C-alpha cells in the first residue's frame, strides 16, 4: 500500500500494456518480497497498467494504491486493484495503523 502522485500516464495500444509513473509520497505496507526493491519517498515508481481503461488515473492527482508485484518483479496495477483518491487528513491515521499491523499470512 502506498500513496503517490501521478506524474504521467501512457495507455499504450490494445496489444500492449500501459504505464503510469507515480511519485511515492509514502509507503505503508509492502510485501517484503526478497529481491524486490522498496521505493523511497519521492522516488518515481513505474506501474504497469494491463487494462487500457482502468483504473482511471489522472495526471497530478494523488491516490492510495494497492497493487501487485508482477512475475518480472515490477509493480502491477490490475483493473481490480484498490485505487482511491488520497485525502491526507482523513486517511493518515488508518494508513499509519495499517503499516504497524504485522502480517499473519504465509508467503
Q: Which CATH class is domain 2-100?
A: mainly beta
Per-residue confidence (pLDDT) for residue 98, from 0 to 100: 64
- Which residues have C-beta within 8 Å of that of residue 53, sequence separation ≥ 6? 79
Could you report the per-residue pLDDT of 36-47, keeping only the tens digit for each? 567 788 889 899
Q: Identify which has the larger pLDDT, 104 or 36.
A: 104
Q: Is 24 in contact with 42 (CB distance < 8 Å)?
A: yes
| Distance separating alpha carbons of residues 76 and 15, to the nearest angstrom | 17
Structural domain boundaries of the chain?
A: 2-100
Global pTM reads: 0.77
What does the block give as the cell for 2? 502506498
CA atoms within 13 A on the CB side of 90: 6
Residue that has been written with the C-alpha cell 507515480 in this structure: 22
Residue 32 pLDDT more than 60?
no
β pairing state of 44-49 and 75-76: parallel
Residue 35 pLDDT more than 60?
no
Amino acid at each position: 500500500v502506498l500513496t503517490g502522485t501521478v506524474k504521467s500516464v501512457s495507455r499504450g495500444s490494445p496489444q500492449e500494456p500501459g504505464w503510469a509513473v507515480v511519485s511515492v509520497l509514502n509507503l505503508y505496507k509492502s510485501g517484503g518480497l526478497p529481491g524486490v526493491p522498496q521505493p523511497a519517498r519521492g522516488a518515481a515508481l513505474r506501474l504497469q497498467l494491463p487494462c487500457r481503461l482502468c483504473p482511471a488515473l489522472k495526471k497530478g492527482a494523488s491516490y492510495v494504491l494497492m497493487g501487485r508485484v508482477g512475475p518480472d518483479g515490477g509493480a502491477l496495477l490490475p483493473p481490480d486493484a484498490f485505487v482511491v483518491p488520497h485525502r491526507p487528513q482523513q486517511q493518515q491515521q488508518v494508513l499509519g495503523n495499517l503499516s504497524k499491523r504485522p502480517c499473519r499470512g504465509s508467503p
